[in-house]
Amino acid sequence: MATEALIERILAASGGPSASAIDALHELLDDATIEASAMPKSVAEAARLVGLSTHTLRYYEQEGLVRPARNASGYREYSSFDLRRLVFLTRMRLSGMTMTDLKRYILRVEQGPSTIPERRRIMLDQQDRITRKIRELGLALETTEYKIRVYDGHPEG
């Protein structure tokens, strides 16, 4: 499936991650599914597709996280590979990964397969942070639900 269609499918999923959205995300993260013939996207098109501002895309480029090609006129052209990396970056930022860790991870990716053990360690550490955050949010939700129940029983509530 085309990168653009996969991104749209993920962003259209509302009400939590559906099996369809998760399948699309997995396909997006698999470099073997990148279509080489897809037309590159402008910075505005890429920003719209991944749900970021053009300013953020330029910042990611400045930080070395993505390196879109330039056309003959000097405009950025985001390939399917770039769009897929942006999806990865947005998911990691949403999960709370720091820019420092993202830069370290992307640097290791670009250094090749010999860095896979370190990349795996970075992802395991991030998994631990996400798991902790989910537990914290679960407690916050419990607290909120408790207060709602208390207010439901209140004569003025």
- Report DSSP letters for the chain, one per residue: --HHHHHHHHHH--SS--HHHHHHHHHHH-GGG--TTSPPB-HHHHHHHHT--HHHHHHHHHTTS---EE-TTS-EEB-HHHHHHHHHHHHHHHTT--HHHHHHHHHHHHH-GGGHHHHHHHHHHHHHHHHHHHHHHHHHHHHHHHHHHHHHHSTT-
Task: Kindly indicate the confidence band of residue 14, based on its pLDDT and cuts at 50, 70 and 90.
Answer: low
Cα–Cα distance list, 141 to 14, 33, 93, 132 (Å): 19, 38, 22, 14
Please give the average per-residue pLDDT across 15-32, as a whole number: 67
Confidence class of residue 77 from pLDDT cuts 50, 70 and 90? very high
- pTM across the whole model: 0.76
Non-local CB neighbours of 149 within 8 Å, separated by 6+ positions: none
Share of the chain above pLDDT 70, in %: 76
Contact in structure between 87 and 25 (CB atoms under 8 Å): yes
pLDDT at residue number 50: 86
> Which has more pLDDT, 78 or 16?
78
CB atoms under 10 Å from CB of 75, counted, come to 12
Residues 121-144 as b/e (b if ≥16 CB within 10 A, e otherwise) read ebeeebeeeeeeeeeeeeeeeeee
